[in-house]
Amino acid sequence: MAVRDQVTINDALEAFLVEQRGRLAAKTLRRYEDVVWLLRECLDRYGHSSLSADEACR
């Protein structure tokens, strides 16, 4: 198995949510999860349009 040199946005968001699960109330955590879902949707649908040519190649 190859070791990745870079953390993806999705990895970082998931790690963030894992950290928050241990400290937030259930209702607040659901709000965090909703916001992260919206961010992922936005990035998936529109994020590529803001990338430079070099970024798009990665």
CA distance 30 to 46: 24
Mean pLDDT within 12-17: 97
pLDDT tens by residue, 17-57: 999 999 999 999 999 999 999 999 999 998 888 888 887 77
Q: Is the Cβ–Cβ distance between 47 and 9 less than 8 Å? A: no
pLDDT at 57: 75
Number of domains into which the chain is organized = 1
Of residues 7 and 54, more confidence is placed in 7
Query: What is the maximal distance between C-alpha atoms in the chain?
Result: 42
For 45, the domain range is 9-57
Q: How confident is the model at residue 3 (pLDDT cuts 50, 70, 90)?
A: low
Domain for residue 1, yes or no?
no
Q: Where do the DSSP E strands lie in the chain? A: none
Domain for residue 45, yes or no?
yes
Domain for residue 48, yes or no?
yes
Tell me how far CA of residue 15 lies from CA of 8, 19, 21, 39, 52, in angstroms.
11, 6, 10, 15, 27
